[in-house]
Structure formats: C-alpha cells, structure tokens
Amino acid sequence: MKVFALVGKSGTGKSTSVLQYTHKKGIPAFIDDGLLIVKGRKIAGTSAKYEKNYIKAVKRAIFHYDEHQEEVIKAIHRASIDKILIVGTSIKMVDLIAQKLKLGKIDQYTDVSDIRSSKEIKMALFVRKTEEKHVIPIPYIQIEPSMVKKIILKGKKIFSNQKIYIGETTIIQPNFNKGTIFISETALKDITIFSCKNLVEVSKVSNIRYNFSNVPKLQIQVELVSSIDQNIIKMIEMIQEKITFILLSVLEIELDSIDVYISSLTLEKD
C-alpha cells in the first residue's frame, strides 16, 4: 500500500480540504482525527473531536488506545485499498500514526499550504479562534449527537471539478472547547476607520460591512478629497492596502476582497 500524509497546524483547514485532495490524487481512503474514511464515508474508528478534554483528544487522534487501534487496522485490511492518506498536525504525528496502524513508512508528505491559499488558511484559523468550529469530513447522518457538545450545522456536499459527488462535511463544536476570542462588529469597524485615519485624501468612512460566511470580504463607502490631477484609482488602491496591512497585523485576517465605493468626491486646488 502506498501511504501519503497531509500535514498542517490545527485549524488550518485540513479536514475541509481532504475530500477534494484525495479525490484529485486518486486516494480512496484517509485517516483523520481517529477516523478511517473510505470514499467519503466513515468505515471505522472514533473521532478525537468526541473526547471530553484536549489530552484525550490527542490520544484518540494518534491511536493510543489498543481497542481503537485494532478496529481501524482490521478495517483497513478489509477495505483492500492500494493507497491511504494520513492527516496530522506534524510530520512526527503522521509518522506515529503510520507506525501504530502498521502502515510502514510514509511515501509522500504534503503541507496544507501546498493545497490551500494563504487567505484560506488565515480565514480557517480566524474561524477556529473566534467560533471554535471544527470540521469532520463525514456526512451529518454519521455524526453521533450525544458525543459532541453541540452540532453547529451541516457542512456541505463536496463535488469534483466534473461535478461528481465526493462526500460531505459536518461542522461541530467539540466538548474540549478551549475557549474563543470574541471580536465585536464595532471593533472591526473601528479598525477599518483607524486604517484610513492618516490618509489625508479620506474625509469620511461609512457603511462598513464585513462578511465572513464563505470568504472574508469588506465593503465600505468613502468620501474623498482630491486635487484635479490626482489618480482616483491609485487612491482607492492605497485605501485597500492600508486596511489589508492593519487587519493582517492586528487580527491575522487576509481579506478576499475590499470593495470601496466613493459616496462623494470634493475637488480642491493644489
């Protein structure tokens, strides 16, 4: 059996991307957080996200418990697969899982940054910090409600580029919730206004709207003061760059788009 590994820090979106990644690479099965998933469905194992505390979750993820380990080893043999992917937070972790499940040495390692953009990773980390949402790459109906603190919502059905159904994800809030960071809408608006404070061309910023539902976006209206020969496009780009820099520095959020609408333009003599 050829063994692959997908490695990335917790919260970077590995479980969100793994179904599409394995389909693209022709890998029928993968190990993620204590589960064996074959062709988009859970075949064996217990999710680490069901555990009551963080230490037990780590032990579950690395197959520390003998009964759990044996269940998954037997299921791998029954599945008769020629390729398998191990998902983990480090090379050390995936190597340990391969050893525990008697899979031999890993043939190929891939970092999550090779399959996800910087924006996607930063947004995934932001959601983890502020909402403590975790993704399990199996259908909603395969989740055991009594095992988790709260079912947040159904994830989504995953399709290939050819519109072939691959599998589903489910978003949960685990029992071992380590706490979240709450960022108020007022704070986000204040940061945006502060970003433009030292730009003499901007006299007012209003109608600030953030949207984090899919990809992080921002819409704002600005009132500008300009001389007749100034380049308006360059002024807007300067506003976008300033907001981008401040949000990256303060919150580590990389926005997908910043839409700037000019509500008024005052022309002044040089």
Query: Is residue 180 one of the residues assigned to a domain?
Result: no
Find the mean pLDDT for residues 244-255.
85
Find the mean pLDDT for residues 145-167.
78
- pLDDT higher than threshold 70 for residue 270: no
Is 167 in the same domain as 202? no
Query: Is residue 192 one of the residues assigned to a domain?
Result: yes
- Nearest by Cα to 16 from 35, 32, 34: 32
Is 264 in the same domain as 132? no
Is 132 in the same domain as 74? yes
Q: Which residues contact 260 (CB under 8 A, 6 or more apart)?
A: 220, 221, 222, 236, 239, 240
CA distances from 221 to 23, 124, 173, 263 (A): 43, 27, 36, 6
- pLDDT higher than threshold 90 for residue 154: no
- Nearest by Cα to 170 from 28, 21, 26, 37: 37
- pLDDT higher than threshold 90 for residue 177: no
CA dihedral 3, 101, 116, 252 (to 10 degrees): -150
Give the pLDDT score at 32: 97
Is 19 in the same domain as 153? yes
User: What is the count of structural domains for the chain?
Assistant: 2
CB-based contact 133:169 (threshold 8 Å): no
Lowest mean pLDDT of 29-38, 77-86, 131-140, name the range. 131-140
Query: Is residue 30 one of the residues assigned to a domain?
Result: yes
Query: Is residue 124 one of the residues assigned to a domain?
Result: yes
Most confident of 72-76, 170-174, 220-224: 72-76
Q: Which domain holds residue 75?
A: 2-173
Is 72 in the same domain as 116? yes
Is 125 in the same domain as 149? yes
Is 166 in the same domain as 238? no
Return the structure tokens found at 8.
Answer: 């990335």
Find the mean pLDDT for residues 176-191.
80
Is 195 in the same domain as 231? yes
- Nearest by Cα to 16 from 122, 138, 98: 138
The residue type found at 135 is V
Query: Is residue 156 one of the residues assigned to a domain?
Result: yes
Query: Is residue 178 one of the residues assigned to a domain?
Result: no
Give the pLDDT score at 268: 79
Is 169 in the same domain as 205? no
CATH, residue 195: 3.30.70.1350
CA distances from 45 to 17, 142, 146, 248, 257 (A): 20, 12, 16, 38, 40
- pLDDT higher than threshold 70 for residue 231: yes
Is 32 in the same domain as 145? yes
Find the mean pLDDT for residues 212-231.
85
pLDDT tens digit sequence for 62-88: 999 999 999 999 999 999 899 999 999
Is 157 in the same domain as 214? no
Query: What is the distance between the alpha carbons of residues 242 and 249, in angstroms, rounded to a whole number?
Result: 11
Which string of DSSP letters, residue by residue, matches 180-203?
Answer: -----HHHHHHHHHHHHTT-TTEE
Please identify, among 110, 143, 173, the residue that sits at the C-terminal boundary of a domain.
173
Please identify, among 147, 173, 199, the residue that sits at the C-terminal boundary of a domain.
173
Is 147 in the same domain as 239? no
Give the pLDDT score at 149: 67
Which string of DSSP letters, residue by residue, matches 85-154?
Answer: EEEESSHHHHHHHHHHTT--S-SEEEEGGGTS-HHHHHHHHHHHHHH--EEESS-GGGS-GGGSSEEEEE
Which is higher by pLDDT, 178 or 97? 97
Query: What is the distance between the alpha carbons of residues 270 and 264, in angstroms, rounded to a whole number?
Result: 19
Find the mean pLDDT for residues 165-188.
81
- Please report, rounded to a whole number, the percentage of residues in the chain having pLDDT higher than 90: 56
Return the structure tokens found at 74.
Answer: 């037997």
Lowest mean pLDDT of 25-34, 141-150, 218-227, name the range. 141-150
CA distances from 161 to 2, 24, 33, 41, 111 (A): 25, 9, 26, 20, 22
Give the pLDDT score at 182: 77
Confidence of residue 214 (pLDDT cuts 50, 70, 90): low
- pLDDT higher than threshold 90 for residue 112: yes
Please identify, among 150, 173, 196, the residue that sits at the C-terminal boundary of a domain.
173
Query: Is residue 11 one of the residues assigned to a domain?
Result: yes
Which is higher by pLDDT, 173 or 65? 65
Query: What is the distance between the alpha carbons of residues 269 and 95, in angstroms, rounded to a whole number?
Result: 68
Query: Is residue 160 one of the residues assigned to a domain?
Result: yes
Give the pLDDT score at 176: 72
